[in-house]
Every structure is written in C-alpha cells, then in structure tokens.
Amino acid sequence: MSINGQRHDGHARPGGPFTHAHGADSAFIRLDRVYKVHRVGDVGVAALGGVSFDVARGEFAAIVGPSGAGKSTILNLIGGVDTPTAGLVSVGGTDLSQLDTAGLSAYRRWTVGFLWQGTTKNLVPYLTVAQNVELPLLLAGVQSAASRRRRITDLLELMGLARRANHRPAMLSGGEQQRAGLVVALAHKPAVVLADEPTAEIDAEGADQVVQALRAACTEFGSTVFMATHDLIAASKTDTTFRLIDGRVRGPAGRASLDASGRITLPQAAASLLGSAASEVEVELEGDEVRIRRSQEPVAYQPAGSGGRAARAVRSRAPSAMTSDDTMAAAAASVTGSASVTATSSPGGRAEAPLLSATQIHRRYGQGGTSTVALQDASLHLAAGELVVVMGPSGSGKSTLLGVLAGFEAPDSGSVMWRGQSLADMPATEVARRRASEFGVVFQSLGLFPALTARENVYLPLLISGADPESAAAAAARWLRRLGLEDRAEHRLFELSLGQQQRVAVARALAPEPDIVLADEPTAELDHEAATVVIEALREVSLRGGGVILASHDPHVLLVADRVVVCRAGRLVAEGSPGEMTEFLITD
C-alpha cells in the first residue's frame, strides 16, 4: 500500500539483505503460518497459532487485540529478538531464521528501531535525554558531532521535548519518557520501526504527537512502521490494521462509510462475504468495537449495557473507536449534577478528618544544573467513600502528587495529613507501617518482582503484612481470578504481557482490602474490557467506605468519579463534579 499515492525510498544505509525487497510489489515484512509456543514448566502455552500477514515497504500498519493476545510476541519476532516455534518471519526478502547471531545483531542495530512497551525500557537512566538519543547515532557510526546535534535537536523538537534535552529520565513524566523513547528509536533512521503500545501512557495530545511522529518515519525516512496497540483511535490513523484474535490475525477488509441516517456502506470484500442476498445483519457491540456479521438465527434481546449485546439492525450510534471528547461527553451526560464529597460524618454528627489531605504542596527537582517544578501550591483532600480522579497531560505532576501523598517523598513545603495526623511528625517506621497496613498503591512503573510468578507477586506481600498463609493464598487466587488472570497465575513476568503485568499490580494493591488506594495510570496498558474490570474494582473500594485517588489521562475513568481535579504544569487548576470538569476539559 502506498502513502498518498507514492512510495518512499529510505535514506542511505549500509548494504545488506534488508535494503530492498524482491520486486516492487513484494511484502517488506511477511509472516507466514507463524506459531509460537512458550514453555511453562512441562506445559506448552501457545501464544500464536498460525499467524500470517504482509506489510508493504513504507507502510504504517497496526495490530490490535486484547491484553495478552500476543501482539508483543509478534513484534519481538519481527525485531529478531525472539524466534518462532514454526513458520516464516521475513523482512526485506530475508528469512530471519537463516541469520546467525552476528547477523541478527547487525539487523537489530541497523535495520530496526524499537519502542518497547513500558516507559522504563527505552532509556538509560543515568544519561540525559539528549545523550540517550546520541547513543544509537554513535553505534550507527555517525562521526560528525554537528550532524548528531542537528539530528537530536530536530527529533526532540518534533516530539515536544526540546526543553527536556538535559533532563535524565527520572525527571520526566511517564508520557515524556515514552516520547523520548520514540526519539531514540527513530534516531538512526531505521528501515523498520516497531512500536509496542506507544500511546498507552500518554495523554490525547501526546498520543497524537507520537502517531504523527510514526507517520513521519514513513513519509520522511521511508521506514516501515508496525505498531501494536489496543488504542483504536491510534490504529484508525494507520494505513492498515490487523486484528489478533485467538492467536490468529484477521486482515483488513477496507473502510466502511456511515451517513447521517445510519446507513453503512461496506467495502466490496466485506459485502461479498455477507452475501448479495443479505437483507439483515447482526451487530454486536463489544466495548468500543462494532462487529457486523451475517444474520443466521434470531438473537435474543439483551438489556442495553450488557457485554456483547446484539441487535438485528445497523445503528448509527457506537462508532468503532470513540474519541476522548466522545467519552467525556458521555461522562458529562451520565454524571451531570453529581455532588462532590467533602467530608464524612460520625454517628454523633461530628465531621471526621479526611483520609488524606495535602495543603499548599511545593515540589521541585534539581539535577545537573537543571531544575524542574513538579508541584506548585497544590492542595487536595480525600474523604471516605470517595473516588477522586486527577486528570492532566503527561508531565503535569500527577505522579509526583501521588508520591507525596503516599509519603514516598517529602514536599519542599506544605503539609500532608493522614487521617488528621501530620506525616512530617511521624517517624519513618510509623509511616512505613501505616502505609503497609492502610494503603494499596499501583505504581506507574508497576514495581513487580520479575523472578516471581503472578501469584507470588500478590501472595508474598500479604504474608509480609502479617496475613496467614491460607488466607493470603485465598486472597491472591481471588483477585487474580477477579482480574482475569487465573490461567496466568503461575507465569513469571517475562511470560506476561505488560497489560497482564499491570493487572497483577492492581491485584497486589487490592488484595489486602486497603482503606486507601493510590493508583497511577492503572489502565494505561489495558484494552477496554480489562480496563473496565480494573475501574470497577477500584470503585468498589470507595463504595465500601474507603477512598481512591486515581491519576489518569483516560477519559473513561470519569464515568466512576465522585470528584475530578485537573492538573496543569504542577498546579491543580480546577476541581468539581465529573460533569463540570468534563465541560471544562472540552472547552478549555
């Protein structure tokens, strides 16, 4: 498939088998009946079951599917990081299985740019952003310091990171780290760019920047871009989208059109499959997806709102991918007029202290002669029975606020109170004890133990906190089952997708049934269905009288919020009901 009717040639690269595909119409990336089986003890677990697809040179393609479907496995195979159990993986006409160790190393160095899933995997922590970008240029043999500086400057400006050039990764937000990782992946102008969930931890504006940058890799550098994602909005901006379902890829049939009266015009391939005599079709709604198929038998009515509900007519509502504004508008419609919770009352009528409160918090980071203001005069409280959502773009200070509230770092000025007691007056041992017994924390970096299984990551913290082995085992099993991980309980982290790892982190936080939960982007790596399960589980904490502060840029979380706080450039600039803040976010 061409871009804007033209094909684009790559920039000059060292000669090799990946520079040109065989023939103008040949696939540049080809997978043919690829199988991948992981060994878990004596048991084989099939990650891929006969995957086949082609991607043309210079094309921007995406593969979508739920967490754990095998999207990352496919990227690892194309990138030469892993090998298939059976089948062909070919890039530029070369079967990667025929390359020796040195050949694969050269392939990864010269031909592929990786943007790994998870912000911490793309950057060297002790180097600045500019130094991280310079590293692949040095490895690629770019001798001229002026050329390296020019390339670094251009890419950082493209990704909106020019002011972060001299900052180390620890001084960046998760979204900024993801964009910096993309700059590193693009630095040496690779022929193939592999991006694993590149928009997962970024706000809508940052996600647009990343997708535009990936598009630029095609148009400006001639790269072939392959993106794994569960973000349907990002996928809709690519040339081709493949769907990974049950270990197999379903290819694209083209794009349909929808008119104002609700009539859908299907592409020829899809219309032919339905049959010329088809007068009625079945429409299934699954999360944010609309699925159309031949009508085979009457479908029983199911109440609206149930998963997988079906109708015997095509409706104009529920597009295949909702935009952020669509979701926020739905939130406004469903919660307009809801009141925020300010305090709880005891049976005697006395107002109780908030579970958490922060007053006029200031936090500044300094390193290597640079300084970043993370929080300015930030004040926030959390009452019992309340779920508060802190929304804001990447780098606005959301993660820093949660870290200060949890007592992981002290503010430069201002005060933090836990149930009316000043954190500054507590000994460090008391802070640690209370945090372990009263808090559940979901870190953006997850903080799981890689050598442990999913079950052990949930079970062992319960034991450390004083639970007996039997109840700890029962709680771990219950929460892994609740979050859809029962069949992954004995898998170690490297055998789990990042979305599955994120659910393990949520299970670990919720298993002790804490009074207070602080969750930093808990749905960033999750597809719609898994995110809904996590959001419902967090909501239950507040419904039983606890409190939740959820930092996110995902507009879906507005649907369960009692109160929303908007964070911009380290300041809490607005606060109100979900309906009020939805209007503020849309009009601001």
Closest to 504 in 3D by CA, of 540, 566, 545, 460: 460
Q: What are phi and psi of 133, to 5 degrees?
A: -70, -35
The token pair that represents 202 in the structure block: 């970024």
Question: pLDDT of 293-303, one tens digit each?
Answer: 665 544 333 33
Q: Is residue 95 part of a domain?
A: no
Question: pLDDT of 304-322, one tens digit each?
Answer: 333 332 332 322 223 334 4
CATH assignment at residue 174: 3.40.50.300
Q: Is residue 34 part of a domain?
A: no
pLDDT at 47 over 90: no
Residues 419-442 as b or e (16 or more Cβ within 10 Å = b): eeeebeeeeeeebeebbeeebbbb
In this structure, are 444 and 568 located in the same domain?
Answer: yes
Number of residues written out for the chain: 588
In this structure, are 201 and 120 located in the same domain?
Answer: yes
d(CA 494, CA 453): 9
In this structure, are 418 and 545 located in the same domain?
Answer: yes
Q: What is the pTM of this model?
A: 0.63
> SS3 string of 268-299?
HHHHHHHCCCCCCEEEEEECCEEEEEECCCCC
Question: Which of 219, 250, 281 is the C-terminal boundary of a domain?
Answer: 250
In this structure, are 239 and 270 located in the same domain?
Answer: no
Look at 319 and 493; give whichever has higher pLDDT: 493
User: Tokens 């890419």 correspond to what residue?
Assistant: 155
Highest mean pLDDT (candidates 123-127, 260-264, 420-424): 420-424
In this structure, are 270 and 230 located in the same domain?
Answer: no
Q: Which of 40-54, 129-143, 500-514 has the lowest mean pLDDT?
A: 40-54
Q: Is residue 463 part of a domain?
A: yes
In this structure, are 402 and 534 located in the same domain?
Answer: yes
User: Tokens 């207070």 correspond to what residue?
Assistant: 516
Question: pLDDT of 530-556, one tens digit each?
Answer: 888 899 999 999 999 999 999 987 777
Assess contact for 520 and 399: CB atoms under 8 A.
yes
Look at 400 and 17; give whichever has higher pLDDT: 400
Q: What are phi and psi of 552, to 5 degrees?
A: -165, 160
In this structure, are 241 and 282 located in the same domain?
Answer: no
**41-45 long-range contacts, Cβ below 8 Å, gap at least 24?**
41/490, 45/491, 45/495
The number of distinct structural domains making up the chain is: 3
pLDDT at 282 over 80: no
Q: Is residue 335 part of a domain?
A: no
Question: pLDDT of 141-168, one tens digit each?
Answer: 888 889 899 999 988 988 788 988 998 8
Question: Which of 203, 222, 250 is the C-terminal boundary of a domain?
Answer: 250
CB neighbourhood size of 103 (10 A): 15
Q: Is residue 106 part of a domain?
A: no
d(CA 500, CA 530): 9
Determine which helix (DSSP H) or strand (DSSP E) holds 146, and give its type and residue range. Answer: helix 145-158
How high is the mean pLDDT of the chain?
79
Tell me the one-letter amino acid at 143. Answer: Q
Q: Is residue 490 part of a domain?
A: yes
Question: pLDDT of 158-195, one tens digit each?
Answer: 878 898 899 888 788 767 888 888 889 988 888 999 99
In this structure, are 145 and 268 located in the same domain?
Answer: no
* pLDDT value, residue 106: 86
In this structure, are 128 and 175 located in the same domain?
Answer: yes
In this structure, are 390 and 454 located in the same domain?
Answer: yes
Question: Which distant-in-sequence residues (6+ apart) come within 8 Å of 367 by Cβ?
Answer: 167, 168, 170, 171
In this structure, are 234 and 302 located in the same domain?
Answer: no
* pLDDT value, residue 531: 86
3-state secondary structure of 70: coil
Q: Is residue 38 part of a domain?
A: no
Q: Name the pLDDT band for 43 (thresholds 50, 70, 90).
A: low
Highest mean pLDDT (candidates 12-26, 420-434, 486-500): 420-434
Structure letter (DSSP) for residue 495? G
Q: Is residue 567 part of a domain?
A: yes
In this structure, are 162 and 300 located in the same domain?
Answer: no
Domain interval for residue 282: 264-311
